[in-house]
Each structure stands twice: as structure tokens, then as C-alpha cells.
């Protein structure tokens, strides 16, 4: 049920989105935990995908220590405004979700394993919110780098939906799409929970396990 703040739970029309800016904001530091570049171009041969799971502080923390993950970065995707700021995204008029960019080595981990962590680490049934974090920027989302990733994400959603339904939970509201532009968040948001171990993390899963590599069963 949509109540107070309902306007923040609706995507803004494209023609009403904030204009943004031409200048791209690129990270100026290496990864606070892994010591590596946050830029995809600096990791040739690696794969990447983008996950929205609510506040990107907790989402990034979920992935950076997983086996096979080379680098992570907080940022914005799925919206209209070019090169938005954190304040603009939180205002609800850019259309972006807060996301984590995951750069990973396909020889050391599988996309299915990353998707399993994604589904189990948040609640993908809540629409434009995640717990007490309300707004379009907190929506659940998977932005795929190519059609192969897209198909894998859609298949994993079907599998997890069966598991959720068996547990008596509502349907998945996760946005699954090919990735558009990804915009890096400001330096202070990168690896935030490593720099501030007692910082806010609003992530919470459903408690339902996600099957990996299995066909959905009714």
C-alpha cells in the first residue's frame, strides 16, 4: 500500500526528469577494500553486471568479498538524468536506482552464484522501496551487460519466484533489463561501510533460499 511519500514511489516522466550535466564524475581512488581500480576498462577480460538492492552502501558491501569478484562500485543506473548527483537521485526526479557495479572473473565465479547472492540478500517483492527506505532509487533491479546475462537473470527470477510462492510470499517486482548508462557515485559513497563500519545498512532478505542452475518447478 502506498502512503506517505507516494510520489517518490513513482518513476518521473522522462520529460520531467532533472537535466543533469555533461561532465562525468569518475572515482579518484582505488577500491578501499580490494585496492583495485573501480573502472571496467582497467579489468580486461572480466565481466560486469549491475544490481539494485536498496541503499547501495549495503549492496556494495554484500559483493566485494565474494570469491571471483574483482572490484565493485556504487552508482546510479536505470534512469534518465545524465551524471546525476546523490542528492538529485534521492530527490526522486532522475529515475535512477542506487546500484552496485560488480566486476567479476567468470573463471572464478558464475553469474548464477552472483544472482543467488542478489536474491537472498534483499527483499525483491517490495516495489519502490526496501524496508524503511522508500523511493524509486531503492527499487530492486538487475541491469545486464548483454542478452546472455539478461536471459540468465530472467531465468533465475523465475526460479526464485517459485521458491517465494512456496513460502507464501508475494511476486517479484525486480526490474530486469539490459543496462543503459552507469554513473559512478561520489567518492564518499564508494565502499562506504568499509570506511564507516558502524554505518547504516538497511538490507534484509526474505529468508528464502534461491536455487541455482535448476529449472523452475510448479
Residues forming beta bridges with residue 183, ordered by sequence position: 76
Grid cell for residue 173: 517486482
C-beta of residue 155 within 8 angstroms of C-beta of residue 176? no
For the chain, the straight-line distance linking the first and the last C-alpha, in angstroms and rounded, comes to 28
Q: Which of 55, 90, 201, 210 is catalytic?
A: 55
User: Is 90 annotated in the active site?
Assistant: no
Please give the Cα distance from 68 to 65 (Å, whole number). Answer: 9
**DSSP H/E element including 50:** strand 47-53
Residue 179 CB: number of other CB atoms within 10 A? 20
The cell numbers describing 190, all together, are 564508494
The distance of Cα 136 from the centroid of its chain, to the nearest Å, equals 12
Count the Cβ atoms, other than its own, within 10 Å of residue 52.
27
Three-class SS of residue 140? strand
- Other beta carbons within 10 angstroms of residue 16's beta carbon come to 9
* Structure letter (DSSP) for residue 141: E
The Cβ of residue 45 has, within 10 Å, a number of other Cβ atoms equal to 8
Instruction: Give me the active site residues, please.
Output: 55
Amino acid at each position: 500500500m502506498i502512503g506517505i511519500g507516494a510520489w517518490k514511489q513513482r518513476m518521473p516522466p522522462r520529460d520531467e526528469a532533472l537535466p543533469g550535466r555533461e561532465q562525468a564524475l569518475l572515482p579518484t581512488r582505488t577500491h578501499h577494500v580490494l585496492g583495485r581500480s573501480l573502472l571496467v576498462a582497467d579489468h580486461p577480460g572480466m565481466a560486469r553486471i549491475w544490481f539494485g538492492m536498496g541503499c547501495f552502501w549495503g549492496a556494495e558491501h554484500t559483493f566485494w568479498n565474494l570469491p571471483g569478484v574483482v572490484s565493485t562500485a556504487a552508482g546510479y543506473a536505470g534512469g534518465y538524468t545524465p551524471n546525476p548527483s546523490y542528492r538529485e537521485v534521492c530527490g526522486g526526479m532522475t529515475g535512477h536506482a542506487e546500484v552496485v557495479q560488480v566486476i567479476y572473473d567468470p573463471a572464478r565465479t558464475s553469474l548464477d552464484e552472483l544472482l543467488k547472492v542478489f536474491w537472498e540478500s534483499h527483499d525483491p517483492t517490495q516495489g519502490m522501496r526496501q524496508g524503511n527506505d522508500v523511493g524509486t532509487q531503492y527499487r530492486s533491479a538487475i541491469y545486464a551487460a548483454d542478452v546472455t546475462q539478461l536471459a540468465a537473470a530472467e531465468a533465475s527470477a523465475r526460479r526464485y519466484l517459485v521458491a517465494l510462492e512456496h513460502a507464501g510470499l508475494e511476486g517479484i517486482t525486480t526490474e530486469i533489463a539490459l543496462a543503459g548508462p552507469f554513473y559512478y557515485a561520489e567518492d564518499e559513497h564508494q565502499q562506504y561501510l568499509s570506511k564507516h563500519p558502524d554505518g547504516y545498512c538497511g538490507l534484509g532478505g526474505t529468508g528464502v533460499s534461491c536455487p541455482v542452475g535448476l529449472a523452475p518447478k510448479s
